[in-house]
């Protein structure tokens, strides 16, 4: 754990934390983990600015239902520019409404992604993966990403991401208490189970 912050690092923290949030600020402060960045921000009295609540009117929801299946998300963000949403907001609402992309729209989105990165993933998708994979696993990420199970699992491995950790304990020793014949001392060993929430159903 790194305790010493330089004046330049504190400046970066102050300029970015309240606007960009924990993930993007941590990416700028490569020496620190997210928990260290958050702790330092709290000690400095920095608070993340709350994102304005997104209100979907019936008209907007109808429009999204009509456009979402046949359009790529980047274009839809522009279409709903008045709402100041990003692609993640868009995917979440589409999921709530049970909307799916057509094969043609999926292919267009794939072609667009291929133009952005050599591995076909956009920077925003990598951000989403890093944010949700550790706690939601593969299936949870599929809600936010137009990606297959295998694609998400493979990219998570490339990024060095791990699934959620379930804390579990196993008794390894039982020692009788010499001063009390009716009690014993149990010794437990922690045996964490890595769970990527991706076991096939």
Task: Identify the band that residue 198 occupies on the pLDDT scale cut at 50, 70 and 90.
Answer: very low
The closest of 125, 175, 177, 169 to 147, measured between CA atoms, is: 125
| Mean pLDDT along residues 145-169 | 74
Predicted pLDDT at 58? 95
Predicted pLDDT at 113? 62
User: What predicted TM-score, i.e. pTM, was given to this entire model?
Assistant: 0.38
Other residues' Cβ atoms within 10 Å of the Cβ of residue 84: 11
Question: 95-140, pLDDT tens digit by residue?
Answer: 999 999 999 988 887 776 665 555 567 777 888 888 888 888 888 7
The closest of 126, 119, 61 to 88, measured between CA atoms, is: 126
Task: Identify the band that residue 193 occupies on the pLDDT scale cut at 50, 70 and 90.
Answer: very low
Joined together, the tokens standing for residue 70 give: 């046949």
Task: Identify the band that residue 192 occupies on the pLDDT scale cut at 50, 70 and 90.
Answer: very low
The closest of 201, 196, 195 to 137, measured between CA atoms, is: 196
Predicted pLDDT at 131? 86
Domain boundaries, the chain: 7-43, 58-158, 165-195
Question: 25-62, pLDDT tens digit by residue?
Answer: 888 887 887 778 888 888 888 877 666 688 899 999 99
Helix (H) or strand (E) holding 184: strand 184-190
Q: How many residues does the chain have?
A: 201
Cα 150 to Cα 10, 109, 146, 153, 156: the distances in Å are 39, 17, 12, 5, 10
Looking at the predicted structure, is the pLDDT value of residue 182 above 50?
yes
């Amino acid at each position: 754990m790194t305790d010493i912050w330089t004046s330049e690092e504190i400046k970066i923290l102050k300029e970015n934390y309240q606007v960009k949030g924990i993930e993007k600020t941590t990416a700028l402060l490569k020496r620190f983990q997210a928990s260290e960045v958050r702790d330092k921000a709290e000690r400095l009295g920095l608070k993340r600015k709350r994102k304005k609540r997104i209100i979907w009117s019936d008209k907007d929801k109808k429009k999204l239902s009509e456009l979402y299946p046949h359009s790529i998300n980047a274009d839809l963000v522009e279409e709903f520019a008045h709402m100041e949403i990003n692609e993640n907001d868009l995917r979440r609402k589409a999921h709530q409404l049970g909307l799916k992309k057509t094969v043609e729209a999926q292919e267009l989105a794939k072609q667009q992604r291929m133009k952005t990165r050599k591995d076909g993933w956009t920077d925003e998708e990598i951000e989403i993966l890093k944010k949700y994979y550790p706690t939601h696993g593969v299936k949870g990420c599929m809600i936010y990403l137009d990606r297959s199970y295998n694609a998400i699992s493979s990219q998570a491995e490339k990024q060095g991401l791990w699934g959620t950790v379930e804390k579990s304990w196993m008794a390894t020793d039982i020692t009788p208490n010499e001063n009390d014949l009716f009690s014993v001392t149990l010794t437990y060993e922690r045996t964490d189970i890595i769970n990527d929430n991706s076991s096939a159903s």
